[in-house]
């Protein structure tokens, strides 16, 4: 039976027809019709997070999804209620501005508005991560979005950012990301003492220059799934793949990026060794 912890990727793999149901909850889910974007976005979003994005109670979404795939009695299914959407009631959300944000001057605030990007059907994640990468010590990142981007909390949380969220309207959210403690940085290189460098002759090389996004990232992730023990992956790119780095971090891969010549970006990826 569909549960709140199921990922959207797994849900759509088993029941591709429910993309229509998800889109009825929130227009943003129409992007899941793109199979390449679905492969990238789906694994990081659970049904519970999807419900929060849509602004509905998770039990309502579960009931609708279960009914759509024949897992429940249709008579017990509540109708989707647009008038009930909005803030689904996150008990952890603070009502007052955190002290860390109280005295941040405008000059230390980096604002990005992705509402128009999303309205045009463009995925804004790369733009967001580029802004985060450019933050200076003491800067605060302020994001304006048409919905609450729940998965972003986890992505930036792993980079040392706390967040505070404001709901300004039915389709207007402002999110503040700030370093509440020493973050350890958000560098493009994640090499660590525990990373395992590939042995000579064990480096797989792929060239993704000229491919349209998100094909380069999808190809890299597919190649990583097939790597053997001790193998590493060298990716030749025409730009720094900002959207790829969080995916590598989450999958336990270390990565280094350099630019050996103009117009050529090289990313060396290897699996982190087990500790202990």
What does the DSSP 8-state code read for residue 3? Answer: -
Percent of the chain with pLDDT over 70: 76
Given a cut of 90, whether residue 6 has pLDDT beyond it is: no
Closest CA to 174 of 265, 112, 266: 112
Contact 143, 175 (CB under 8 A): yes
Given a cut of 80, whether residue 109 has pLDDT beyond it is: yes
Strand partners, 33: none
Task: Give residue-wise pLDDT tens across range 191-250.
Answer: 444 444 444 447 888 988 887 777 888 889 888 888 877 889 999 998 888 888 888 988
Closest CA to 167 of 100, 104, 86: 86
Give 272: exposed, middle or buried? Use CB within 10 Å, 0-12, 13-18, 19+.
middle
Between the two ends of the chain, the Cα-to-Cα distance in Å is 38
- Name the least confident of 10-19, 59-68, 90-99: 90-99
Long-range contacts of 186-190 (CB under 8 A, 24+ apart): 186/132, 186/133, 186/135, 186/159, 186/160, 188/133, 188/240, 188/245, 188/255, 188/257, 189/255, 189/256, 189/257, 190/245, 190/248, 190/249, 190/253, 190/254, 190/255, 190/256
Given a cut of 50, whether residue 96 has pLDDT beyond it is: yes
Contact 50, 85 (CB under 8 A): no
Contact 177, 141 (CB under 8 A): yes
Given a cut of 60, whether residue 186 has pLDDT beyond it is: no
**What integer best gives the mean pLDDT of the chain?**
78
Dihedral pair phi/psi, residue 218, rounded to 5°: -60, -45
Given a cut of 70, whether residue 274 has pLDDT beyond it is: no
What does the DSSP 8-state code read for residue 2? Answer: -
Q: What angle (nearest 5°) sits at the alpha carbon of residue 238, between those of residues 136 and 154?
A: 45
CA max distance for the chain: 64
Tokens of 16: 């591709």
- Per DSSP, the residues of 97-146 read --GGGTT--GGGEEEEE-HHHHHTT---HHHHHHHHHTPPTT-EEEEEES
pLDDT at 49: 83
Contact 18, 12 (CB under 8 A): yes
Specify the pTM: 0.51
């Amino acid at each position: 039976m569909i549960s709140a912890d199921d990922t959207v990727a797994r849900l759509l793999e088993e029941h591709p027809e429910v993309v229509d149901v998800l889109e009825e909850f929130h227009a943003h889910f129409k992007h899941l019709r793109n199979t390449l974007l679905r492969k990238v976005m789906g694994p990081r979003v659970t049904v519970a997070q999807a419900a929060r994005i849509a602004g509905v109670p998770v039990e309502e979404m579960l009931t609708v999804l279960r009914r759509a795939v024949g897992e429940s009695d249709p008579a017990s299914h509540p109708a989707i209620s647009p008038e009930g959407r909005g803030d689904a009631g996150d008990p952890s959300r603070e009502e007052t501005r955190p002290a860390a944000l109280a005295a941040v001057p405008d000059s230390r605030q980096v604002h990005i508005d992705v509402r128009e990007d999303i309205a045009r059907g463009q995925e804004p994640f790369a733009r967001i991560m580029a802004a985060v990468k450019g933050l200076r010590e003491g800067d605060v990142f302020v994001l304006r979005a048409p919905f609450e981007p729940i998965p972003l909390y986890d992505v930036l949380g792993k980079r040392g950012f706390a967040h505070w969220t404001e709901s300004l309207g039915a389709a207007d959210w402002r999110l503040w990301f700030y370093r509440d403690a020493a973050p350890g940085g958000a560098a493009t290189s994640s090499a660590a003492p525990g990373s395992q460098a590939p042995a000579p002759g064990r480096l797989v090389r792929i060239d993704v220059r000229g491919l349209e996004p998100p094909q380069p990232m999808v190809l890299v992730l597919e190649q990583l799934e097939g790597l053997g023990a001790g193998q590493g992956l060298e990716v030749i790119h025409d730009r720094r793949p900002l959207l790829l780095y969080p995916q590598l971090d989450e999958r336990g891969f270390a990565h280094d990026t350099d630019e050996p010549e103009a117009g050529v970006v090289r990313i060396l990826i290897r699996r982190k060794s087990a500790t202990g």
